[in-house]
Structure 1
């Protein structure tokens, strides 16, 4: 292909695909059906593949059309963000950083991981908490600048995403102070005597915790499971039971007189990853996060 892509042709195809038919697309564009159809045919000729096929009373995407639509979605969604980005730059509103936070990731850890990018008070941080797979889909569509997760990027040829290791944090166990005082056995055997709170299997560390129980022959009485780590710690602090927390949460927990440190489990670690849609990161704030993680002691 020697001629550049005609984005007007791509836009007409995108609208047709969104509307599911030529007539509805023409009505939305306030154009003649023949004109829209001709523009889409020119795009198909440029690509060398049919993008649409009849489906009932409308049109459906071919395999080539689905591939083209995925790219068109990214292109025009980025276009919708352009006015706001330019306005922010001109007004001196600072740089925007949109980060997806995988559910189950400890919120105190999130604050620790994001801190290097927040030194400039003009930074505008947007955090979206959601399921891991949905965040990856938003990242692939460039709705997010990066995703923070407790698991690496999955091997999926349909998603061109790249993982960057941010670090590891060993776990420790905390319990309400009155429970610690009543406990007669040392750690970790005391966990068999105490009610225990755990993250659900949404959190990658749950599997490591279950394996650690098995290795130590522990059969804890689980009284609560939480997808949200902040909620887990809140119930633990209120007296519901013993609970695990990563090293980067320890400082705040140790200042809380309602809880006591039971013991540390350095062999159980949470792993933290940043996932981007680019192999070479261009967003300067995302670059800061990765660089700070590389320089931090582990």
Structure 2
């Protein structure tokens, strides 16, 4: 069996991510021909062309995409090994947490509470879209992603979704809006409603509920960010459809009131991790006794 040359694979990996042979060669301080020869040797070893040229662009072939998936996994594993072994024995450990930008900040705090204030732990927080955060998780740039919809798992992306919490969803508003009645049907029929966007589980459940009740609600706003829903509710723009945990501070002070729970509607929160050979020990402490 011929020994596999990982130098060839690294040059291919660099060009595949740059998408440009010239740019890769300049970055690596090599000639274009030297890089091209390395890739051709890899193609000869694998028995497949990895790129096809379209004008000045290099486009991955089907075999090239498969090779890139494996190269990403190989070099990510190498970075993971170095990071894990170099950090072992340090007095202060880091936990890298990504959270959906629209997720409740109160839920963030509840998740982090077991390690808040610990002198031996450094908390690194990132926010973004689901796609960006999961990509960072795959690249081992994050230890865990907090999200409200579990990603698909397959052999290529072995995500593990830990269900942390199921929160009921309520109608929440200012005392002025809720002065006349607390009847759910009347509130849905007469008061302006602040809703999450149409692609969320809560919105899908709400639309199904109002359809069953035969009510066409007056929509005051459709909002992606829970923090913005919280602010609009405080301003009295309308009754917000959200988990009470999002506005727990306002509920405790009386600035907002929970009018009624919405039957059959809830928000589920997940911690998504990746199957790793060297899992972060701090993450295990965060998930311990928290998973439903």
Distance (whole Å) between structure 2 residues aligned to residue 154 and residue 49 of structure 1: 30
- What is the CA RMSD across the aligned residues, in angstroms? 3.3
Count residues in correspondence: 292
CA 1:21–1:224 in 2, change beyond 3 Å: closer, same or farther?
Answer: closer
Matched ranges for 1:126-165 at <5 A: 126-154=124-152, 159-165=157-163
Is 1:225 equivalent to 2:222 in the alignment? yes
Q: Following TM superposition, by how much is the alpha carbon of 1:175 offset from its aligned partner in structure 2, in angstroms?
A: 1.2
Matched ranges for 1:254-293 at <5 A: 254-265=251-262, 267-278=264-275, 282-293=279-290
Q: Following TM superposition, by how much is the alpha carbon of 1:229 offset from its aligned partner in structure 2, in angstroms?
A: 0.5
Is 1:212 equivalent to 2:209 in the alignment? yes
Is the CA contact (8 Å cut-off) linking 1:103 and 1:202 kept in structure 2?
Answer: no
Deviations 1:211-265 (A, max 9, x none): 2222333332111121110110111012212113324346423213221221223
Partner of 2:69: 70
TM-score normalised according to structure 1 size? 0.81
Q: Following TM superposition, by how much is the alpha carbon of 1:2 offset from its aligned partner in structure 2, in angstroms?
A: 6.6
Q: Give SS of 1:129's match.
A: strand
CA 1:283–1:65 in 2, change beyond 3 Å: closer, same or farther?
Answer: same
Is 1:30 equivalent to 2:29 in the alignment? yes
Residues 73-82 or 280-289, more deviating = 73-82
Q: Following TM superposition, by how much is the alpha carbon of 1:77 offset from its aligned partner in structure 2, in angstroms?
A: 6.3
Distance (whole Å) between structure 2 residues aligned to residue 53 and residue 201 of structure 1: 41
Is the CA contact (8 Å cut-off) linking 2:94 and 2:124 kept in structure 1?
Answer: no
CA 1:204–1:196 in 2, change beyond 3 Å: closer, same or farther?
Answer: same
Is the CA contact (8 Å cut-off) linking 1:254 and 1:260 kept in structure 2?
Answer: yes
Partner of 1:110: 108
Residues 218-227 or 110-119, more deviating = 110-119
Q: Give SS of 2:288's match.
A: helix
Q: Following TM superposition, by how much is the alpha carbon of 1:76 offset from its aligned partner in structure 2, in angstroms?
A: 4.8
Partner of 1:97: 96
Is the CA contact (8 Å cut-off) linking 2:244 and 2:258 kept in structure 1?
Answer: no
Distance (whole Å) between structure 1 residues aligned to residue 177 and residue 106 of structure 2: 24
TM-score normalised according to structure 2 size? 0.82
